[in-house]
Amino acid sequence: MQPATALTLAGEEEMPRPCTSLTLDDAKRMLHAGECAAAHLGVAYNIAVVDAGGNLVAFSRQDGALIGSIDLAIGKAVTARIFDKPTSLLGELAQPGAPLFGIQETNSGRVVIFGGGVPVMSGGIIVGAVGASAGTVEQDIAVAEAALAALEEESPMSAFADREKSSSSLNKRRLR
């Protein structure tokens, strides 16, 4: 995750306005983890990652994934970000008689109120969200959570250091 700063029209940096958000590298790691979870389930998935502003950063549609789930995956990610809550929780809160009944009609009807969308937090702030769609609601939640876990497992620098160690050991073996 990287802080973004504002630029002037001339390309010069203005007074910094930090906003931590997911990077493309973060999103690619998340997609890979989500794809692995989907393969384990045996279901072809659509997975979307949005940044802190709710804008699409990366999307994956596995071969054979349901076409109708494309918009749902993106919608779940956006919904999780704009409301800063898992879509499964919003679904519970949007039932008749519950405090958010009707929320799915807001935001031009693009709010998705069933599981599979999860906000991504870093340092106590929301930096983006992930949405997954194609299986059951429980499977969608599992794939989204697997994608989220990819950011918690290792930092990019530790992954880089591990690659460097194995590359250096490989080179030593070649020299022997």
Domain ranges of the chain: 23-151
* Residue ranges with strand state E in the chain: 2-4, 19-21, 46-51, 56-61, 117-122, 125-133
User: 123 φ, ψ to 5°?
Assistant: 60, 30
116 or 10, higher pLDDT: 116
Report the predicted TM-score, pTM, of the whole model to 2 decimal places. 0.78
* pLDDT score of 43 more than 60: yes
CATH of domain 23-151: 3.30.450.150
Which residues, 6+ apart, have CB-to-CB distance to 151 below 8 Å? 26, 29, 30, 120, 122
pLDDT (0 to 100) of residue 1? 63
- Mean pLDDT to the nearest integer, 56-63: 98
Residues 63-87: tens digit of each pLDDT: 999 999 999 999 999 999 999 999 9
Confidence bin at 169 (pLDDT 50/70/90): very low
d(CA 22, CA 147): 13
Q: Which of 23-32, 62-71, 98-107, 148-157 has the lowest mean pLDDT?
A: 148-157
Hey, what are 100's tokens?
Answer: 């958010």
- Tokens, residue 31: 């997609």
